[in-house]
Structure 1
């Protein structure tokens, strides 16, 4: 399957983040003969955390890259849109005890919505990003395929975009691996060639997560208990913990227990209790089935009873599974092998070999659906 690029001499807008990937994406398109315009998006207005490195460094790097490549750079502020359509959802999910993935919503609501709209104003039909994945045309449809570099493949984060959005999307790095990208950036003397990859919350960056979340949501401390209800500690607030978490539980020195590590296995929202078990392979950490809703299919819906593979988190190996529709917008996913630490609010993303079909939000987990 060939990674799609349009005919030459067209205008293409590239989302320039100030990182190496988007820099090389713009560089490749410019060298290929396209009329490239860079756009730097500011999507977060800093309101606290004095001393935190803001987007100023990134926009300076973006300007330097665009000058080196010889393309114009536009700056836009989508902070209001981000707060209304991504961050508000982020807080709602944490308030409900779930663990959201804002990167997925960033792509659907900001990069391939607001940025795409801005691209049209600049006279471009296409938006290119530094994502590691491939857009392939199949008939009149666009399909999303894994990147050549499977270790960097980012199709997981694009599972919620629409077919219309995918029709506008270009992924110049789809046939490259990360070492090639850095080597090309260095050869082109781009300032971002050895810049560290960004981490943390989408468009917000690396934080002291507890302090950041506490600024927006009041903490509600409670008890840490075993599945039988025995109290083994106290938690700072259910929103700070995720299923499968080991670090930061503060459990130790209990008279009736050995030194086997503790892990979060569940959250009892009604009683504000964090449920924990001992042992990496404890059966309570594994579930065979999940219920997913808010389904999105990139090209065409998967067929009821279809055997596919799925990921329930980024970088996870593909897991064979069978899907069954419960409604048009909800299905059950039964895995061939029980899965560790399935987490409410995260996405389950489906694949048919190299093609990413789409995904849905994990709404419920079950030991077995039979």
Structure 2
């Protein structure tokens, strides 16, 4: 979504209409060694390395407490950078509360605290709107500034399209979700669509829950 239509007009995608299996079969027929190469599951710019170790090489970890939204201390985290909103695995706690799994609901950067809630459908895991920054459109904006428009959006990889209402003011926008969204995460992208066409996107700066 960060590219402009003038750039895309000059781009070629020779295998864009083929599935991965079809591309592998073509490679096999032509005796290319990549035909049976294992799929990459790592982050492209660091390769198949342990992500936690990679971060620790560049960012000093600062341990702090993990607590519930009511203030009950559950344990200690190894550094807020190692956790993401909505995360369940790798928290290293158990035997608390009503037995349901804990999930990351918030990262309190000011106090270096990780806020956890129990159950995958806890209200604190959901939000109703988000503020978007660094907003860009592949062509022109789909509406004038301060005018509402209904679009579809994705907030994570392979997520089904989500209906939203967006109001933009140039390179920032307020996005309201038709249905509350789970684990909206600042720093990640919000990508907007009209039908099947990607028309733009931006970076999630913050989210808001209705009281």
Partner of 1:334, secondary structure, is strand
Task: Say whether 1:299 aligns with 2:139.
Answer: yes
1:310 aligns with 2:147: no
In structure 2, how many angstroms separate the alpha carbons of the residues matched to 1:290 and 1:207? 33
Matches of residues 109-188 of structure 1 in structure 2 within 5 Å?
Answer: 159-188=1-30
Q: State the 1:199 CA deviation.
A: 2.4
Aligned residue for 2:63?
Answer: 221
Match of 1:343 among 179, 185, 200: 185
Q: Is 1:276 aligned with 2:116? A: yes
Alignment deviations for residues 156-215 of structure 1 (CA, whole Å, 9 cap, x no partner): xxx122334323321122211222111111112111111122222222212211111001
The structure whose residues are more often strand, as a share, is: 2
> Which one of 23, 31, 44 corresponds to residue 202 of structure 1?
44
Match of 1:262 in 2: 102
Partners of 1:183 and 1:202 in 2: CA distance: 24
- 2 CA distance for matches of 1:233 and 1:324? 41
* Higher helix proportion: 1
Give the corresponding residue for 2:81: 239
Higher relative contact order (CA 8 A, sep 6+): 2
Match status 1:193 vs 2:44: no
Q: 1:322 matched to which residue of 2?
A: 165
Aligned to 1:89: none
Moved over 4 A (4+): none
Q: Which 10-residue stretch deviates more, 164-173 or 223-232? A: 164-173
Q: Which runs of 5+ in 2 are unaligned?
A: none
Matched, 1:290 2:130: yes
Aligned length: 208
Query: Normalising by the residue count of structure 1, what TM-score does the alignment of the two structures yield?
Result: 0.54
Deviates more, 1:268-277 or 1:170-179: 170-179
> Structure 1: where are the runs of 5+ without partners?
1-158
RMSD (Å) for aligned C-alpha atoms: 1.4
Q: Distance in 2 between matches of 1:232 and 1:212?
A: 27
Q: Does 1:334 align with 2:154?
A: no
Please list the CA deviations of residues 316-335 of structure 1 after superposition, one character each: whole Å capped at 9, or x if unmatched.
Answer: 0000111012x211101111
